[in-house]
């Protein structure tokens, strides 16, 4: 089968397009002939984390396709079923944190940037009919992450005021749509005027220039919840916009893992600081039902073929995209 995989050299220098063996499903597993896949920021990090001396590893965490073979013991799925890959391995029930052994599709096991993938039965969920193949293949990971951060961790509901710094990337597109569907008031920041305009089209109530004075731009309004994925460059500015007793939920750190903030100001403000990552299979099912009810879809910025993976990765690294980058595998 054709695949995009990493081997021999650290980083993107070791990422190649070529042939790999078609995998066979074992007990409790299904094989999916993938039609589409989607890129995530994680795909830029895996080539640095996967060791050059390890066996070749297929990249990718998001994908969708048709079940074409099943292993013994598979009960709920059969050949011909249209499915989305659930990227959360070993986290089936909603819990405070992922259980021991939790992994994400694409490291340490093979990922979705290939013509075939084998996953446990619980990691293939029926594709909602309202989603196109391209949308389905670029959906799960970022949408799951956004859903858990907003609802499970942030407790967002009707009337909640939510601030989403840098809220125009992969997860941000879902954060805006999910929060608005729940009846929240949504503030988004971005450096790009084009992205701010798109955020408003998606339902954001206010779109603020990241370089502006946020307090002035928000007319002194404070929010109940901040969903933070940018990290060092926005954390303190976002914290300044949080009401006393409010909650900041962090699930990413694209501009730096280390943040310095005034601890005394933090505890006097009675703030809550929560971490979040991905989501369980339970939450994936809830997210898909919620999405279908409210007709929420990913925004596909552009699509590439597997063979054209380098252009897709370059665009992902540029951070210029608005929404998701898709890969077409089998038309």
Looking at the structure of the chain, the number of domains it has is: 2
Q: What is the pLDDT of residue 23?
A: 98
Q: What is the pLDDT of residue 233?
A: 86
Position 175 in a domain: yes
DSSP-derived 3-state class of residue 169: coil
Position 110 in a domain: yes
Same domain for 309 and 217, yes or no, is: no
User: 290-295: long-range contacts (C-beta < 8 A, 24 or more apart)?
Assistant: 290/147, 290/178, 290/181, 291/128, 291/143, 292/128, 292/130, 294/177, 294/181, 295/130
- 76-115 per-position pLDDT tens digit: 999 999 999 999 999 999 999 999 999 999 999 999 999 9
CATH code, domain with 108: 3.90.180.10
Position 286 in a domain: no
Position 125 in a domain: yes
Q: What is the pLDDT of residue 143?
A: 98
Please give the backbone phi and psi of residue 139, each rounded to the nearest 5 degrees, phi first. -105, -55
Strands of the 57-58 sheet, one edge to the other: 15-19, 2-6, 57-58
Q: What is the residue range of 45's domain? A: 2-139+298-328
DSSP-derived 3-state class of residue 193: helix
Position 24 in a domain: yes
pTM given for the model = 0.95
Which ranges constitute the DSSP H helices of 133-245?
A: 133-137, 140-147, 170-181, 193-202, 214-217, 235-240
CATH code, domain with 181: 3.40.50.720
Among residues 187, 189, 185, which one has the least CA distance to residue 165?
Answer: 189
Report yes or no: 300 and 136 within 8 Å, Cβ to Cβ.
Answer: no
Please give the backbone phi and psi of residue 306, each rounded to the nearest 5 degrees, phi first. -55, -45
Q: What is the pLDDT of residue 253?
A: 83
Same domain for 111 and 7, yes or no, is: yes
Task: State how beta strands 2-6 and 103-104 pair.
Answer: unpaired
Same domain for 46 and 94, yes or no, is: yes
Position 214 in a domain: yes
Distances (CA, A) of 65 to 28, 125, 164, 330: 18, 10, 32, 9
Same domain for 93 and 74, yes or no, is: yes
The residues of the chain scoring below 50 in pLDDT are: none
Same domain for 308 and 321, yes or no, is: yes
Cα torsion 255, 256, 262, 267: sign: positive
Position 289 in a domain: no
Same domain for 20 and 130, yes or no, is: yes
Same domain for 70 and 107, yes or no, is: yes
Same domain for 66 and 114, yes or no, is: yes
Q: What is the pLDDT of residue 169?
A: 79
Same domain for 187 and 256, yes or no, is: yes
Distances (CA, A) of 175 to 9, 107, 132, 183: 36, 25, 20, 12
């Amino acid at each position: 089968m054709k695949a995009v995989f990493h081997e021999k050299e650290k980083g993107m220098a070791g990422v190649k397009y070529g042939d790999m063996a078609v995998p066979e499903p074992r007990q409790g597993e299904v094989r999916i002939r993938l039609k589409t896949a989607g890129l995530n920021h994680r795909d830029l990090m895996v080539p640095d984390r996967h060791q050059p001396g390890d066996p070749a590893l297929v990249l990718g965490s998001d994908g969708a396709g048709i079940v074409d073979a099943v292993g013994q013991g598979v009960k709920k799925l059969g050949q011909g079923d249209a499915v989305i890959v659930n990227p959360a391995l070993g986290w089936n029930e909603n819990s405070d944190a992922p259980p021991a052994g939790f992994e994400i599709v694409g490291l340490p096991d093979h990922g979705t940037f290939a013509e075939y993938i084998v996953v446990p039965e619980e990691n293939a969920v029926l594709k909602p009919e309202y989603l196109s193949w391209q949308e389905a293949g670029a959906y799960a990971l970022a949408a799951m992450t956004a859903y858990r951060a907003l609802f499970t961790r942030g407790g967002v509901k009707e009337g909640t005021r939510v601030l989403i710094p840098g809220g125009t990337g992969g997860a941000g597109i879902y954060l805006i749509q999910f929060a608005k569907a729940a009846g929240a008031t949504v503030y988004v920041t971005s450096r790009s005027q084009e992205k701010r305009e798109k955020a408003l089209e998606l339902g954001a109530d206010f779109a603020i220039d990241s370089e502006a004075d946020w307090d002035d731009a928000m007319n002194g309004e404070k929010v109940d919840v901040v969903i933070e994925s940018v990290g060092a460059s926005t954390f303190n500015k976002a914290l300044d916009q949080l009401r006393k007793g409010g909650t900041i939920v962090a699930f990413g750190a694209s501009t730096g893992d280390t943040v310095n903030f005034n601890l005394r100001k933090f505890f006097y403000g009675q703030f809550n600081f929560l971490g979040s990552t991905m989501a369980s299979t339970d939450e994936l099912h809830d997210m898909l039902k919620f999405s279908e009810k409210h007709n929420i879809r990913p925004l596909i910025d552009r699509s590439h073929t597997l063979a054209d993976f380098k252009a897709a990765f370059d665009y992902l690294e540029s951070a210029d995209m608005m929404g998701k980058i898709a890969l077409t595998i089998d038309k």
